[in-house]
């Protein structure tokens, strides 16, 4: 089936948003491993790029939640998805400019919801999908924080009699594995979200008879996210890996492992959650095991503010763009 110009434009916007996802979320995978100097920035980027791509190809449960669980597919159009992508790209780029890690997951969910409300009203929202979104908030906030904290406490207990240099040497090696695990988990959850959006556009345009994720869509979106990851996001690396809390390899290992385990659990349950939120709360949990003042709570406040603003801002932008599109093109 030949795709319309409008469909091609919206598919391009989804790919652009996936690129931005990899670009701004790359620090989730590499901030701690770079800040602890376990890996050089180029090697960390290569690791993150490769395993983000592999992770994005590891399943489709989250893609299905995004594509058909947040808003009713039969009530929206390709313009609705396009409006959501505009909000994501604008807000994520603005936050990157100020070095603030934001959640493309929250941006995507808010964008789809805002554009859906503009297109079809409140009945467009699906409670079943939103239950998973709320569960994701619990996972990323509490499991992220306490996962990092619990792992750090366990490491302190297990290595209490070891010299600091020995601990640093051991976890300097182990952190390469935890960074890879974090990159894989990011791809498995965040990468799938835009795969779901891309598939949704194909379904709405009639190119797919039913919502089923084709292999070529997984490959295309995974590569696009990998390309974005390769660009990096050093302003956000500084915020997460240096400004939020001073980290050594052992702290980086605990934060990455705790966050990655939380994300993987959510992914297998089809729960979309913010990988940015999860790794940041894990870093806070690890920092808090040393002393409360080890976490720079002023930086934390700025990050949390960005998270809170993501929902209303992306929702409002998407709602506005969808309304303007309806007025301009009046799609059937």
| pLDDT score, position 95 | 75
Check pLDDT > 60 for residue 288: yes
pLDDT tens digits along 129-174: 888 888 888 888 889 899 999 999 999 999 988 888 898 889 988 9
Mean per-residue pLDDT of the chain: 84
Identify the weakest region by mean pLDDT among 25-39, 75-89, 146-160, 199-213: 25-39
Q: Structure tokens of 319?
A: 């709602």
Separation of alpha carbons 190 and 222, rounded Å: 10
Check pLDDT > 90 for residue 13: yes
Check pLDDT > 50 for residue 244: no
pLDDT band at 75 (very low <50, low <70, confident <90, very high): very high
Q: Considering the chain, what percentage of its residues have pLDDT values greater than 90?
A: 34
Q: Is 314 within 8 Å of 117 (Cβ atoms)? A: no
Check pLDDT > 70 for residue 99: no
| pLDDT score, position 58 | 85
pLDDT tens digits along 45-73: 788 888 888 888 888 889 889 998 999 99
| pLDDT score, position 38 | 80
pLDDT band at 241 (very low <50, low <70, confident <90, very high): very low
Check pLDDT > 70 for residue 192: yes
Check pLDDT > 90 for residue 42: no
Closest among 160, 213, 221 to 187, alpha carbons compared: 221
pLDDT band at 332 (very low <50, low <70, confident <90, very high): very low
Per the model's pLDDT, the better-predicted residue between 328 and 302 turns out to be 328
Check pLDDT > 90 for residue 83: yes
Per the model's pLDDT, the better-predicted residue between 234 and 37 turns out to be 37
CA 163 to the chain's CA centroid = 37
Check pLDDT > 60 for residue 331: no
| pLDDT score, position 50 | 86
Per the model's pLDDT, the better-predicted residue between 164 and 197 turns out to be 197
The whole-number average pLDDT for the span 85-100 is: 82
Q: Considering the chain, what percentage of its residues have pLDDT values greater than 70?
A: 86
195-209, 237-251, 280-294: which is most confident: 195-209
Check pLDDT > 60 for residue 236: no
Check pLDDT > 70 for residue 302: no
End-to-end alpha carbon distance in the chain: 19
| pLDDT score, position 238 | 56
**Cβ contacts of residue 161 below 8 Å, gap of 6+?**
none
* DSSP label of 70: S
Closest among 248, 184, 199 to 53, alpha carbons compared: 184
């Amino acid at each position: 089936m030949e795709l319309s110009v409008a469909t091609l434009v919206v598919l391009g916007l989804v790919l652009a948003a996936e690129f931005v996802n990899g670009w701004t979320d790359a620090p989730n995978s590499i901030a701690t491993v770079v800040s602890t100097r376990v890996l050089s920035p180029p090697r960390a980027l290569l690791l993150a790029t490769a395993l983000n791509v592999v992770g994005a190809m590891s399943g489709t449960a989250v893609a299905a939640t995004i594509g058909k669980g947040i808003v009713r597919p039969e009530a929206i159009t390709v313009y609705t998805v396009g409006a959501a992508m505009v909000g994501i790209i604008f807000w994520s780029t603005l936050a990157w400019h100020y070095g603030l890690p934001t959640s493309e997951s929250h941006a995507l969910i808010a964008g789809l919801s805002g554009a859906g409300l503009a297109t079809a009203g409140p009945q467009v929202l699906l409670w079943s999908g939103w239950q998973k979104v709320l569960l994701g908030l619990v996972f990323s906030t509490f499991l992220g924080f306490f996962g990092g904290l619990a792992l750090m406490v366990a490491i302190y207990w297990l290595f209490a009699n070891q010299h600091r240099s020995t601990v640093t040497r051991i976890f300097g090696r182990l952190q390469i594995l935890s960074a890879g695990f974090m990159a894989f988990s990011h791809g498995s959850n965040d990468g799938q979200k835009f795969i779901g959006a891309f598939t949704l556009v194909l379904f709405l345009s009639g190119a797919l008879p039913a919502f089923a994720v084709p292999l070529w869509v997984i490959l295309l979106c995974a590569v696009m996210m990998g390309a974005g990851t390769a660009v990096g996001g050093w302003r956000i690396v500084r915020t997460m890996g240096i400004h939020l809390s001073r980290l050594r390899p052992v702290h980086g290992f605990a934060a990455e492992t705790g966050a990655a385990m939380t994300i993987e659990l959510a992914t297998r349950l089809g729960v979309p959650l913010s990988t940015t939120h999860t790794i940041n709360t894990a870093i806070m949990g690890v920092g808090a095991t040393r002393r409360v003042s080890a976490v720079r709570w002023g930086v934390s406040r700025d990050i949390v503010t960005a998270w809170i603003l993501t929902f209303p801002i992306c929702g409002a932008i998407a709602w506005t763009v969808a309304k303007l599109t309806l007025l301009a093109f009046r799609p059937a």
